[in-house]
């Protein structure tokens, strides 16, 4: 359920703005990260990439991309760049911060209904069902395995 709540939080902060995956943190984890000065762990990077892949595949989110939304080959290239480059160095950090995500209408409607209901268990299960229906469920991971 904790992972589902991370998804919810990112949807929520994207309701009115675009955001990079650097905002994909539960608030307590981010506070601890800022205090400790640790680097982004490869585990976090993999979870963030899996999140991005899932929410794009279910048409909840899209990248804020110049001119038009990126084609599938461009998305493949973007995910490969992110999986090959750690955000802990200048080049990787530039790649990870360049790509901004925003909610599509379907994602907006879902998070608005979730927030209005206040029922994390019900909407968490709905989200899991949507992922499973699109073949990107939590039984699958590392769609683009991080290499660092």
CA–CA separation, 81 and 40 (whole Å): 16
Reported as half-sphere exposure (CB side, CA atoms, 13 A), residue 53 has a value of: 23
Assess contact for 20 and 94: CB atoms under 8 A: no
Q: Is the pTM of this model over 0.85?
A: yes
Q: What is the pLDDT of residue 36?
A: 52
Local structure of 22: helix, strand or coil: helix
pLDDT digits (tens, 9 = 90+) for 91-147: 999 999 898 899 999 999 999 999 999 999 999 999 999 999 999 999 999 999 999
Q: What is the pLDDT of residue 18?
A: 87
pLDDT digits (tens, 9 = 90+) for 39-77: 677 888 898 999 999 999 999 999 887 767 778 889 999
Assess contact for 54 and 118: CB atoms under 8 A: no
């Amino acid at each position: 359920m904790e992972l589902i709540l991370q998804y919810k939080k990112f949807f929520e902060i994207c309701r009115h703005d675009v955001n990079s995956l650097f905002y994909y943190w539960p608030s307590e984890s981010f506070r601890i990260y800022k205090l400790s000065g640790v680097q982004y762990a490869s585990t976090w990077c993999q979870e963030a990439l899996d999140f991005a892949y899932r929410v794009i595949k279910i048409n909840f989110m899209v990248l804020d991309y110049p001119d038009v939304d990126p084609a599938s080959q461009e998305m493949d290239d973007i995910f490969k760049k992110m999986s090959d480059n750690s955000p802990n160095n200048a080049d990787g950090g530039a790649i990870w911060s360049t790509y901004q995500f925003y909610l599509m209408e379907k994602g907006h409607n879902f998070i608005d209904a979730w927030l209005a209901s206040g029922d994390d268990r019900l909407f968490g299960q709905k989200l899991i069902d949507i992922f499973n229906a699109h073949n990107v469920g939590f039984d699958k991971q590392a769609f683009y395995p991080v290499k660092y």
